[in-house]
């Protein structure tokens, strides 16, 4: 049984500490529900609320009248529109054991009988909203507020995806759900906000809350609504039969009316017969979490049958028939202590946040990306700011934004470098990403080390100390010069014996025959890496064809858009002398087994070119995840991608509905779970090796 770590409980030693915790919790709720900006992250707030609740259990006669444990939304009223039926909060559990105990308490409320069936759905991380339709027309939007009254935000009608102005049927109904932002909507919201002189939002939920309430703005931002319930009593709807539907059936019905729901996503509402199935579904949702376009912070477990819900009843703040299973927080609030500036192999100067250490998703985070100087300016970050740090799955932690309501006036501006932090040279500030004016010459050693690494030329034995000596003794200027080195030159290096020199010469000779995608990757062109290099090499077939291509031609390669293509063209011009050296040294500059792409005006079904035989992966999108075994045990991820390309397939890093095949090795993780949810074919490394046996290197 998998167990999610439980957030620790704030220890409250006496009534004074308890009352102070109540004040702190209500202030945080006020900041979030009233101002749209959290001053505490979810885990800290949960820990505080658990401490308040624990103290109240021990001291039932000393419960504060304004305790947030007794009120929806922390007791913060944000409007005067009365809800037709109270909008409640959910209780929380954090482990399998706590969920099992909650399910047992629900069974006791049902007179000892088991729940008829369960429903499990994602706990969406957004803003609760009620949408009222009359005769199929959207007439009013109301926030949850304190559960009894909410704020009228009908000015947002027409700007929320998933809330159509007219339903597919002319019914009167109140739908309840969550308003949130997808990643693309969040980026667009911050772009619009900064363009009009505002600071960026600290995170997506704050962006949703603030944007939902904003009136008379000079701009509008798009959001998304996902329904999770509707009022089913006859006095609240003209839609017949709603009261007879189970919860899972209701969600499907709302989707049929044209409303946004999670139906069709990997985390759609699902009926479960047993608690074991419930737990399995919860952990499956947790595995899928990092790959979704919208944010969630847990799973919601409900009695699926309406009769069970009515019999279990509701409390003052939460329903007895539903609870939330909270996942470890993907984002936390911590303090930005400093910013350092790193220079990459191509001369790009990148800022990095130095943070007060904070645990996010089970990992202690000390550093996080700040992207580029323009991004720092847009976010109006200052040293000493409380900032929201986000990390999901294996994604590099990033700073989302500052919690400006926590500023004390002691914060200091971030100092931008006047000269290159590495070489002291001038900085090219013409693009959002600043770059040392010397470009690759500034990161000479790093560029060569990148070129000889495993994902590129894979020259074993050429470590950093040797590269530094070669550069300092003017034996090489770039990685192309490696192919003209002599054995005698290598023997002049410190601690270089004859055997080591022979081994290194052999490794360099082997690199001369690497496929084009490896050589192209070694060039270290901005905006490319191992996967993009393989796509470019597979599309064009030769370095000459790539050099001859203009921006429009490069945009035909999957993943290269209008911004990236001109950069690649410019980089190829800059690297022309290096490519000329490679050509003169006899380095392979062609892609093995290349078949030209079909012309743009090809008829449907027309082949791009003639292959020697039928390719086993012809046209298939293939994802490799987990550790390879058997005949593929020694293959790196780059080598696996090359193998897929030789067999006619297209290697992809992410699983989607368009994926045709997933090769799942040991500890495959979330990609395997996502493939199963989409019904994608999954095979083992051994089975994959048999399928493409003739193409193994």
499 included as an active-site residue? no
Q: Provide φ and ψ at 585, rounded to 5°.
A: -85, 0
In this prediction, residue 121 has a pLDDT band, given cuts at 50, 70 and 90, of very high
691 conformational bin, left if phi > 0, alpha if psi -120 to 50, beta if neither:
alpha
The yes-or-no verdict on residue 26 having pLDDT over 80 is no
Q: Provide φ and ψ at 531, rounded to 5°.
A: -70, -45
Cα–Cα distance measured from residue 471 to residue 654, given in angstroms and rounded to the nearest whole number: 39
The yes-or-no verdict on residue 5 having pLDDT over 50 is no
The more confident residue out of 357 and 673 is 357
Mean pLDDT within 193-215? 82
pLDDT at 395: 66
Residue 610 CB partners (closer than 8 Å, separation 6+): 595
pLDDT at 182: 92
The yes-or-no verdict on residue 606 having pLDDT over 50 is no
Cα–Cα distance measured from residue 541 to residue 521, given in angstroms and rounded to the nearest whole number: 14
Mean pLDDT within 164-173? 95
Mean pLDDT within 216-238? 89
In this prediction, residue 603 has a pLDDT band, given cuts at 50, 70 and 90, of very low
What proportion of the chain, given as a percentage, has pLDDT over 90?
Answer: 51
In this prediction, residue 13 has a pLDDT band, given cuts at 50, 70 and 90, of low
- The pTM for the full model equals 0.63
pLDDT at 517: 94
The yes-or-no verdict on residue 42 having pLDDT over 70 is no
pLDDT at 219: 85
Beta bridge mates, 134: 137
Residue 160 CB partners (closer than 8 Å, separation 6+): 141, 179, 222, 223, 224, 225
pLDDT at 71: 59
> Which residue segments constitute the domains of the chain, with CATH numbers given?
15-75 (1.10.287.610), 81-326 (3.30.470.30), 331-428 (2.40.50.140), 443-511 (1.10.150.20), 513-610 (1.10.150.20), 613-697 (3.40.50.10190)
Candidates 496, 488, 450; CA nearest to 469 is 496
Cα–Cα distance measured from residue 645 to residue 390, given in angstroms and rounded to the nearest whole number: 34
pLDDT at 302: 97
Cα–Cα distance measured from residue 475 to residue 481, given in angstroms and rounded to the nearest whole number: 8
In this prediction, residue 6 has a pLDDT band, given cuts at 50, 70 and 90, of very low
Question: Which residue do the tokens 């999954």 mark?
Answer: 682
pLDDT at 602: 45
**Among 123, 326, 581, 650, which one carries the catalytic annotation?**
123
Range 342-357 burial, b when 16+ CB lie within 10 A, else e: ebbbbbbbbbbbebee
pLDDT at 605: 39
Candidates 540, 564, 568; CA nearest to 645 is 540
| Mean of per-residue pLDDT scores for the chain | 86
pLDDT at 214: 82
Least confident of 53-57, 308-312, 543-547: 53-57
β-strands 270-272, 296-303 pairing: unpaired
In this prediction, residue 78 has a pLDDT band, given cuts at 50, 70 and 90, of low
Output DSSP code: residue 49.
H
Least confident of 333-347, 355-369, 404-418, 566-580: 355-369
Residue 413 CB partners (closer than 8 Å, separation 6+): 382, 383
Mean pLDDT within 521-542? 91
The yes-or-no verdict on residue 527 having pLDDT over 90 is no
Residue 643, SS3? helix
């Amino acid at each position: 049984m998998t167990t999610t770590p439980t957030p620790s409980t704030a220890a409250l030693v006496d009534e004074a500490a308890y009352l102070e915790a109540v004040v702190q919790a209500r202030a945080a709720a006020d900041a979030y529900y009233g101002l749209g900006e959290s001053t505490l992250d979810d885990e800290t707030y949960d820990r505080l609320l658990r401490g308040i609740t624990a103290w109240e259990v021990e001291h039932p006669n000393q419960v504060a009248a304004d305790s947030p444990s007794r009120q929806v939304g922390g007791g913060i009223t944000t409007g005067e529109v009365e809800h037709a039926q109270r909008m409640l909060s959910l209780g929380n559990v954090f482990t399998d054991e706590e969920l099992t105990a909650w399910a047992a308490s629900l069974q006791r409320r049902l007179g000892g009988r088991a729940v008829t069936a369960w429903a499990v759905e994602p706990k969406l991380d957004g803003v609760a909203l009620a949408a009222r339709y009359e005769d199929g027309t959207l007439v009013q939007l109301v926030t949850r507020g304190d559960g009894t009254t909410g704020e009228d935000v009908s000015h947002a009608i027409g700007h929320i995806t998933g809330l159509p102005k007219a339903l597919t049927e002319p019914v009167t109904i109140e739908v309840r759900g969550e308003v949130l932002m997808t990643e693309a909507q969040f980026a667009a919201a911050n772009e619009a906000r900064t363009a009009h002189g505002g600071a960026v939002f600290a995170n997506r939920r704050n962006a949703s809350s603030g944007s939902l309430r904003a009136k008379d703005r000079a701009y509008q931002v798009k959001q998304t609504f996902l329904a999770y319930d509707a009022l089913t009593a006859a006095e609240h709807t003209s839609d017949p039969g709603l009261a007879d539907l189970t919860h899972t059936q209701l969600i499907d019905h709302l989707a049929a009316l044209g409303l946004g729901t999670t139906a069709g996503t990997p985390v759609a509402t699902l009926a479960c017969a047993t608690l074991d199935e419930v737990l399995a579904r919860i952990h499956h949702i947790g595995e899928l979490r990092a790959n979704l376009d919208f944010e969630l912070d847990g799973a919601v477990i409900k009695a699926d049958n309406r009769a069970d819900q009515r019999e279990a009843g509701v409390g003052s703040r939460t329903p007895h028939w539903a609870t939330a299973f909270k996942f470890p927080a993907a984002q936390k609030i911590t303090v930005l202590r400093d910013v350092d500036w790193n220079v990459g192999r191509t001369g790009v100067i990148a800022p990095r946040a130095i943070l007060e250490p904070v645990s996010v998703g089970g990992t202690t985070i000390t550093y996080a990306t700040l992207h580029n100087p323009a991004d720092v300016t847009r976010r109006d970050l200052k040293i000493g700011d409380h900032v929201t740090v986000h990390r999901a799955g294996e994604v590099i932690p990033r700073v989302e934004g500052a919690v400006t309501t926590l500023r004390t006036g002691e914060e200091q501006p971030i100092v931008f470098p006047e000269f290159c932090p590495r070489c002291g040279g001038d900085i090219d500030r013409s693009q959002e990403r600043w770059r040392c004016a010397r470009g690759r010459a500034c990161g000479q050693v790093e560029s060569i080390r990148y070129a000889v690494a495993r994902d590129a030329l894979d020259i074993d034995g050429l470590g950093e100390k040797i590269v530094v000596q070669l550069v300092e003794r003017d034996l090489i200027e770039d990685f192309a010069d490696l192919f003209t080195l002599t054995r005698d030159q290598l023997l002049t290096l410190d601690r270089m014996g004859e055997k080591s020199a022979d081994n290194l010469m052999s490794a360099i000779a082997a690199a001369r025959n690497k496929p084009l995608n490896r050589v192209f990757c070694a060039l270290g062109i901005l905006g490319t890496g191992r996967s993009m290099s393989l796509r470019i090499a597979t599309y064009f077939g030769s370095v000459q064809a790539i050099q001859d291509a203009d921006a429009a031609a490069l945009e035909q390669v999957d993943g290269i858009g209008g911004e990236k293509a001109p950069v690649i063209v410019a980089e190829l011009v800059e690297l022309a002398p290096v490519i000329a050296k490679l050509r003169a040294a006899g380095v392979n500059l062609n892609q093995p087994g290349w078949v030209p792409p079909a012309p743009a005006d090809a008829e449907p079904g027309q082949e791009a070119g003639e292959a020697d035989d039928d390719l086993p992966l012809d046209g298939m999108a293939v994802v490799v995840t987990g550790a390879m075994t058997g005949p593929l045990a020694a293959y790196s991820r780059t080598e696996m991608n090359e193998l897929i390309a030789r067999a006619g397939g297209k290697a992809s890093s992410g699983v989607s509905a368009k994926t045709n095949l997933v090769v799942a090795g040991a500890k495959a993780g979330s990609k395997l779970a996502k493939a199963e949810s989409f019904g994608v074919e999954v095979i083992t490394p051994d089975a994959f090796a048999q399928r493409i046996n003739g193409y193994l290197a």
